[in-house]
Chains A and B, each alone.
Chain A
Amino acid sequence: MINITNLTAGYGNRPVLSGLNLHIAAGEITTVIGPNGSGKSTLIKCLARQLPRAGGEITVCGRSIDTYTPKEYAKRVSYLKQARDIPMISVESLVLHGRFPYMGFPRKYTDEDRARAKNAMYRVGILELRHKELSELSGGECQKVYLAMVLAQDADLLLLDEPTTYLDVSHQLEFLRLLKELKGEGKTIVPILHDINGALQISDYLCVMNGGKVAFFGTPSELTASKIIDKVFGVEPASVTVGKNLFLTFPI
Chain B
Amino acid sequence: MNTFAKSYIHNSSRAKALILCAAVIALTVLLFVSICVGAVKITLSDLWNIIVKRNKEGSAGQIFYFVRLPRTFAAVLAGAALACSGTILQTVLGNPMCSPSVIGVNAGAGLSMIIVAAFFPAAAGFAPVSAFLGALASVTVVYWIAQKSGASKLAIVLSGIAVSSLFSALTDTIITIVPDVKISRIDFLIGSFSGVTMSNVLFAMPYILAGLFLAMLFHVDINLLALGGETASSLGLRVKVMRGLFLAIAALLAGSAISLAGLIGFVGLIIPHIAKWLIGYDHKYLLPLSAVLGGAFCLFCDVLARTLFAPFEAPVGIIMSLIGSPFFIWLVLTQRRRRVFD
Binding site for B on A (CB under 8 A): 48-50, 70-75, 77-79, 81, 84-90, 92-94, 97-98, 100-101, 103, 106-107, 111, 114-115, 117-119, 122, 130-131, 133, 135, 153
Contact = CB atoms under 8 A, between A and B. Distances in A.
Contacts of B6: 111, 114
Contacts of B276: 88
A50 B233 CA distance: 8
Interface in B222-256: 223-224, 226-228, 230-231, 233-238
B219 interface: yes
Given A71-B236, A97-B227, A89 B220 contact: no
Interface residues on B, range: 20 to 34
B5 to A, nearest CB: 4
A78 B234 contact: yes
Interface string B77-119: 0000000000000000010000000000000000000000000
Given A88-B339, A100-B236, A114-B5, 18 more contacts: A70-B237, A73-B236, A85-B231, A86-B342, A89-B223, A89-B282, A97-B235, A100-B224, A100-B237, A107-B218, A107-B220, A114-B6, A114-B9, A115-B1, A115-B5, A118-B1, A135-B339, A135-B342
A98 B219 contact: no
25 contacts: A48-B234, A50-B233, A70-B233, A70-B238, A72-B236, A74-B236, A81-B231, A86-B342, A87-B281, A88-B280, A89-B282, A90-B280, A90-B282, A92-B8, A92-B9, A97-B223, A97-B227, A97-B235, A100-B224, A100-B235, A100-B236, A100-B237, A118-B2, A131-B8, A133-B280
Interface of B: 1-2, 4-6, 8-9, 12, 94, 217-221, 223-224, 226-228, 230-231, 233-238, 276, 280-282, 339, 342
Nearest to B11: A131
B9 A115 contact: no
Contact of B221 (A84, A86, A101, A107): A107
Contacts of B2: 111, 114-115, 118
Contacts of B282: 89-90, 93
Interface of chain B: mostly helix, strand, loop or mixed:
helix
A77 B236 CA distance: 10
B217 A106 contact: yes
Which 9 A-B residue pairings sit nearest by Cβ, starting from the closest? A74-B236, A71-B236, A107-B220, A101-B236, A79-B234, A114-B5, A118-B5, A88-B281, A115-B2
A122 B232 CA distance: 23
A71 B220 CA distance: 14
Contacts of A111: 2, 6
A50 B236 CA distance: 11
A86 B218 CA distance: 21
Contacts of B230: 50, 79, 81
B220 A103 contact: yes
Most A-side CB within 10 Å, residue of B223, B235, B238, B276: B235
A81 B227 CA distance: 11
B5 A92 contact: yes
Contacts of B220: 97, 100, 103, 107
Given A114-B5, A115-B5, A135-B339, A87 B236 contact: no
A98 B233 CA distance: 11
B281 A101 contact: no
A85 B342 CA distance: 10
